[in-house]
Chain A
Amino acid sequence: MATAGAAGALGLAGCSGGSTGGTTTITVGSVNPMSGPYSSLGPNQRRGAELAVSQINANSDYDFEFELVTGDSETEARAAQDEVQRLVQQEGADFIVGAISSSVALGINEIANSSEFVYFSGGAAVPITGSACNPWVFRFETNTAMIAEAISAYSVNELGTNVWFHYADYAYGQSVYQRVSQRMANANGEYNETGVSTSQLGASNYGSYVSQVSNSDADIVVLGMTGGDLVSFTNQAADQGLTDDKIVIGPTQTFQSVLAGTGMNSVGTYGGVRYLPTLDTGDNQQFVDAYESEYDGSPGNFSRVGYDSLRLIAKGMNEAGSTEVDDVRDTLEGGTYETVLGDITLREEDRQATNPTWMGEIIDDSGSPAVELVNEVPAGETLPPASELGCN
């Protein structure tokens, strides 16, 4: 394993092994969907991780260096499981970050628990630090409950009380529906569920759904879908005039990848915001500057997840004074650190980062869509107690 090394000589407690005279090198792994349905998102996550590694290695505050090994999850459970095990067994990684698909991430949860390595998940489904939580899984990604928190109360109080839900019939879509409708009902007594419709994951023709919503009395339509589904729906909704008639809200509406596929059709819609390069929180601006000079374009949500997941691990190592995975794990749990989103705490009960979230409106910024923040839910107010989310 690569954790042994010069640690003893440099006074990092808890490490064993001989001295090589130089710094300790820790192997960290990044598993990202570079192919498969999420192949447009994986590269960003990986770039964030790569940037973090180069910054950490150049930073004299850290007495160690990271060596990054990568794997392609192919957005599919078997491939992801095999890759993670290759990184852990063959490459010697004790720390893994990544994944975007929740079913992939849940599989990695299990491996982390049985093989005992620290895993910073990039999936957004609540069960990852909820009902499927375990002591080895941390998450710097913002989960769907937190996004629901950002969009629910504001929408039902400010935008309208008659709500139509349309979601893709799979885990993510179902969770959006359940959480948002629940939060809306709690926030406003006049909330009324006008209707619900579901589509199949991967469907690409939403004309009839758009018509249904259009012909209803709803003020708002909440979309429980993401990726290609959301793009197709938004495009067709705009074509049919729905985005003008009703207020369309999608938790992931503001994502770079979605805007890339919808262009100006998104203008006038609302969405949850997990991250924006324009945020002035924490040390975000240095991240954005470094990212823009290294790569084409600005960082998006997945980039910052890859980036700060690794930085958190490094900060945990520094604080623990050890690169041993058990010590780092113990230190990270419950710790508070600075990130691009400001100061967050990795909650002791479920190791979920207490990220702030926002609601944003898509506006026309001289011919291109841009996100304007309209509401913020501060860090620490976005999450219900861990037990409510299923982690005991």
Chain B
Amino acid sequence: MVAQFVEQLINGLTLGMVYVLLAAGLSVIFGVMDVINFSHGELFALGAYFALSIIAPLGSGIGFWVALLAAPLIVGVIGAGIERVTIRPLYGRNPLYHILLTFGLVLIINDLIKLVWGTEQQQLVVPDYLTQSISVFSIQLSLYNYFIIGFAGVLAVGTWLLLNRTKYGMIIRAGSQDRQMVRNVGIDIDRYYTLVFGFGAALAAVAGIVLGGYQSVSTGMGNSVIIPAFVVVVLGGLGSFRGAVFGGLLVGVVQTMMRVYNGTTLFELGGFALTIPNLQGLTVFLLMIGVLLVKPQGLFGTRGDESEGGEGEILVGSSGGLLTDSTRTKLGILFIAAMIVLPILLLFTGSRYYVLVMNNILIWAIFALSLDVVMGYAGLVPLGHTMFYGVGAYTSALVMLHFTSSFVVAIAAAILICAVIAWIVGSLSIRVSGVYFAMITLAFAELFYNAVFRLGFTGGSDGLLGFEPTMGIAGLGVPLSEISFAFMGYEIEQQIIFYYIGLLLAVLAFLFARRVMNAPFGSVIQSIRESEERAEFVGYNTVKYKRRAFVISGGIAGLAGGLLAASPTTFVISPDQTLAWIHSGEVIVIALLGGMGTLFGPMLGAGAFFGAEEILSQYTEQWRMIIGIIFVLFVIYVPRGLVSVPSLVVQRFDRFGEGGKPGIGIDESEVQSDD
């Protein structure tokens, strides 16, 4: 009994050390540089893949140790290069831009890995003597378990010593507290940051090698570790390396022990028994939410609540003074007219399939619009917005399956349920701000994703099938699939009908959002984005306003999800399709591409994104990499999005005489007059 308990404890410690390994690199980079490095997972994978290439010619005996030394060095150099070229221009900006940039890097690095090493799963062969099973006092484990614990321990201690006991570490820590002051003292802090990023990347690579030997090496390995890594870093405290270590161990041990002993009765009192619940998978996210609500700085965090996003603000798109209001209105009407005629054109040219693409764009345009309300206007960056999209889709599908197939009811239910959930999630989430807000919304989204897998009525991993909307209500109406009539010799069927419905709803959603943002409510929201303190001093209850913005946003996102379920080309609603965290990232990228804070910008961004995907995927299998490169370029050079391109071009010509290049945003906010 005791032996088994100890054995499981050591298993928990192993898992904990795995988390420590994962989180170490991320914590260093965030703690020191304020950069949220989403590409951490891919650097982790790169380490494992380089190790494979080193072990192949050398054999597993000596190859493993050489790889453990050499591969992190290579990845460290790559990391330093990435920092120099892409992240350096972004210092001082809102952490949102780091997230977006590193998100683009994920796409690039992942496709590169597939290109170079192929998509097959591979085995990272570890020397035989390391993987034997050994039995100590009837505790039977692998030597590799002890190796992981020991190695990670040494690594953690070494990193801590480096950060806290060396001159370089002191400079780096000083820089994380006050960069300007360090510069004033005469130290080129930027050079150190390159080293730190490289070091963080190397740590990620080491983790990849050690864990690659424990699990396996595949192109999806980076994706599977990034969320746990974030959880541990947040739990331990952003910026505290010691916290990351402690957080990792805590999560590992708690997760393991709770799982192994779930169902065990702890004690009984009267008729009430306290048993350990089986929360697998949910545990980490509940822990994360708990910590963020109670002590957002994390268990060991030392940062105050200054994290409203660092020094930078969110750069909203604006066509500046280029277009007058009436011109813009006329352009808008022209655009809508073009959209109305588009399906007919597509029919005439025999490209009926593209109506399907347009339907996807319309759905995502509404989704992106919802994000703009909360991000571009209120200045809150949620990393879990896909939860509303997903809940909206599931709600609609469930209504159509179990209650009524009425389109109206299904959509209304989706909007309503999402608004309610947004109210609850929003109330809890807006207690924290900046990075913590992003993380807590991510945790909620992951909770939903995991919950959907386990609940029976959501269809588990297979999802929901067999739902179909009826255009009508209360028994009066006709199923969407049966609507069909001829127009000028062409069949107008359900996909085209749906297109017009979607277009109508998109325009209505846009007008609604614009009405709200032009009202006093919108002004208050924007003032909260610009300076929450000031808005509070003036007397506004900022919490209430932020929550309302969140509810509006959630409702609109629910509309998008409901439309997805009602779409004639959607046959399945599954968790990966609607609730996977990557969709939260995609919608943020789309909003940036188009131009935040304009409402129509993100909608254009949806068109640009899906259009680019459609076109690029016909020419190359590495289209994700190209889209990633486009993102990275946009984040650095066109942060205000597509809608700002006209004014950027004009500016470039205006400044031609002065010989300067267009500002990349930091000073622009003072120069440009947003109306």
Interface residues of A, Cβ cutoff 8 Å to B: 34-37, 39-40, 42-43, 72, 75-78, 81-82, 85-86, 89-90, 102-103, 106-108, 110-111, 114, 125, 127, 132, 169-172, 174, 198-202, 204-205, 207-208, 211-212, 214-215, 227-228, 231-232, 235-236, 238-241, 244, 257-258, 260-263
Contacts and interface: CB of A to CB of B under 8 A. Distances in A.
Contacts of A111: 571
17 contacts: A34-B119, A103-B462, A132-B465, A169-B280, A174-B460, A204-B215, A205-B215, A207-B15, A207-B145, A208-B15, A211-B141, A212-B260, A231-B121, A238-B131, A239-B132, A240-B142, A261-B121
B572 A77 contact: yes
B569 interface: yes
B219 to A, nearest CB: 6
B570 A211 contact: no
Given A212-B260, A228-B220, A231-B215, A260 B122 contact: yes
B8 to A, nearest CB: 5
Interface residues of B, number: 67
B281 to A, nearest CB: 4
Contact of A257 (B7, B120, B143, B617): B120
Given A228-B215, A261-B123, A202 B224 contact: yes
A37 B220 contact: yes
A171 B461 contact: yes
Contacts of A227: 121
B463 A208 contact: no
B356 interface: yes
A50 to B, nearest CB: 15
B152 to A, nearest CB: 13
A106 B141 contact: no
B598 interface: no
B4 interface: yes
Interface centre among B143, B280, B463, B465 (most CB of A within 10 A): B465
Question: Which 9 A-B residue pairs are closest in the complex by CB-CB distance?
Answer: A241-B133, A239-B142, A170-B461, A107-B572, A110-B571, A90-B353, A208-B11, A207-B11, A261-B216
Nearest to A258: B121
A215 B142 contact: no
A209 B352 CA distance: 52
Contacts of A174: 460
Contacts of A228: 121, 215-216, 218, 220-221, 224
A236 B215 CA distance: 7
Nearest to A240: B142
Given A205-B214, A205-B215, A260-B121, 8 more contacts: A72-B621, A106-B463, A106-B465, A172-B461, A204-B211, A235-B215, A236-B214, A241-B133
Contacts of B405: none
A208 B120 contact: no
Contact of A208 (B114, B260, B360, B621): B260
Interface string B6-39: 0110011011001000000000000000000000
Given A200-B280, A211-B7, A238-B131, A89 B121 contact: no
Contact of B574 (A43, A72, A103, A263): A103
B523 interface: no
Contacts of A214: 140
B502 to A, nearest CB: 15
A78 B389 CA distance: 14
Contacts of A232: 214-216
A263 B140 contact: no
B461 A211 contact: no
A103 B452 CA distance: 14
Nearest to B575: A103
B577 interface: yes
Contacts of A75: 576
Interface in B201-221: 211, 214-221
A60 to B, nearest CB: 34
B386 to A, nearest CB: 13
B466 interface: yes
A106 to B, nearest CB: 6
Given A40-B119, A207-B14, A257-B120, A239 B133 contact: yes
Contacts of B481: 114
